[in-house]
Structure 1
Amino acid sequence: MNKRELRKKILNIRNNMNKEDVVEKSKIIMQKIINTEAYKKSNTIFIYMDFKNEVITSFLINQMISENKSVMIPYTDVENINIIPVEIHNLEQDLKRCSFGYLEPKKELITPVDLKIIDLIIVPGVVFDRKLNRIGFGKGYYDRILSKKRSDTKAIAIAYEFQVLNEIPHEEHDIKMDMIVTEEKIYN
């Protein structure tokens, strides 16, 4: 299967998950993240806001805020096909729903952040493989961010076990994850 077909197949499965499974598996995944060395050592974390049955990130974001970690959420600059990390302090007050339907930081909070301050990036994706390759939504937003991170900044993908296949198509410019955390396993 090519990337487009794999993306469609896995998204279909994910979109049809029931809410209880999403919540239960997300909590397991978030607990595993909290127990990683990368999380424990990090002060500034870039993490996405979940959308359409993605692994729920709000549990972890609230945990990070309570631990006084700096939390960066992506703002999507659609014109320049770019995501901008924006620091937030409160999930309820600092976010608004964008035209695509997901939550992102309010425009007035956008101030340029040097990617070099980020210690950990929690990466979304559609399909992964055991060799830590990733297929996203096909626009390259995260590839651009990952290509500019510090060499010691960890990129941890979170996904459900069914999203991790033995092998997926990948290209030279695709950036591998340092780790993939699912409800069943940690791949690294």
Structure 2
Amino acid sequence: MLKAELRKKYMQKRKALSTDEAFLLSEKIFENFINYFKPLPAQKAHIFIPIEKFKEIDTHILINYFLSRKIRVFVPKIADTKLISVEIFNDTKFEINNWGISEPISNEDSGILDFNYVITPLLYCDNKGNRVGYGKGFYDGFFESLPSGTKKIGVNYFNPDENIDDVWENDIPLDYLVTPTVVLSFLSKGLE
């Protein structure tokens, strides 16, 4: 299917989830992430803040876990037309931006790129790690700036069951997908 069709289909599937279903699925994603990756204190995680009106995965569960375990947490913020990484703490102040996204008040880019985990939003991911986002391209540009070896991880309520037919040359695939039922690795054997 084409990205536009997949975007529409998976937005509808997501909207069909009740608030309780979405939260329970988010908890299962959290458990699968922790059990698979076993994050450690002092590691660095870049993770998105969910857009509630789009019923994105509730990443607050992971963010709270990271902060309580002394794992450094960075969240994306759009400054001009670029995605920057702002470090957050338990007392960080947030505001709602023009797109309805909660983001830190600070505009200070941490300059950090050597994340252990970059957890990305998406609407769909196929079985090769190609993802369908919201079509703005912020994460593809961000992925280009990351050192090789950074784990690019998508989280989704749904497992891959169809291919993306219009993958572009500049699209950068994910390394992993975490769903409520499975963690998939798209890395070749020996690279993990």
TM-score, with length taken from structure 2: 0.88
Separation of aligned partners in 2, 1:40 and 1:168:
34
The one-letter amino acid of 1:37's match is F
Query: 2:33 touches 2:183 (CA, 8 Å); kept in 1?
Result: no
Superimposed CA distance per residue, residues 106-162 of structure 1 (whole angstroms, 9 cap, x where no aligned partner): 1xx222222433221001111111111111111110001111111111011000125
**Would you say how many aligned residue pairs link Structure 1 and Structure 2?**
182
Separation of aligned partners in 1, 2:140 and 2:41:
24
1:104 aligns with 2:100: no
Structure 1 unaligned residues grouped into runs of 5+ = none
Separation of aligned partners in 1, 2:134 and 2:42:
27
Separation of aligned partners in 1, 2:10 and 2:103:
24
Query: 1:121 touches 1:153 (CA, 8 Å); kept in 2?
Result: yes
What is the aligned counterpart of 2:145 among 148, 151, 176? 148
Larger mean Cα displacement after TM superposition, 24-33 or 97-106: 97-106
Superimposed CA distance per residue, residues 12-61 of structure 1 (whole angstroms, 9 cap, x where no aligned partner): 11122100110000001011111223734871110001112111100110
The one-letter amino acid of 2:108's match is T
1:20 aligns to what? 20
Separation of aligned partners in 2, 1:140 and 1:42:
30
Separation of aligned partners in 1, 2:172 and 2:84:
18
Q: How does 1:26-175 map to 2 (within 5 A)?
A: 26-37=26-37, 39-40=39-40, 43-51=43-51, 52-77=54-79, 79-80=80-81, 82-90=82-90, 93-106=92-105, 109-161=106-158, 164-169=160-165, 170-175=167-172
Percent identity between matched residues is 29
Separation of aligned partners in 2, 1:93 and 1:41:
19
Separation of aligned partners in 2, 1:68 and 1:158:
22
Separation of aligned partners in 1, 2:39 and 2:130:
21
The one-letter amino acid of 1:167's match is N
Separation of aligned partners in 1, 2:163 and 2:15:
22
Separation of aligned partners in 1, 2:93 and 2:36:
27
The one-letter amino acid of 1:168's match is I
Separation of aligned partners in 1, 2:69 and 2:108:
23
RMSD value over aligned CA atoms? 1.7
1:6 aligns to what? 6
**In structure 2, do the counterparts of structure 1 residues 116 and 74 end up closer, same or farther at CA, with 3 Å as the change threshold?**
closer
Separation of aligned partners in 1, 2:136 and 2:119:
18
Separation of aligned partners in 1, 2:3 and 2:68:
38
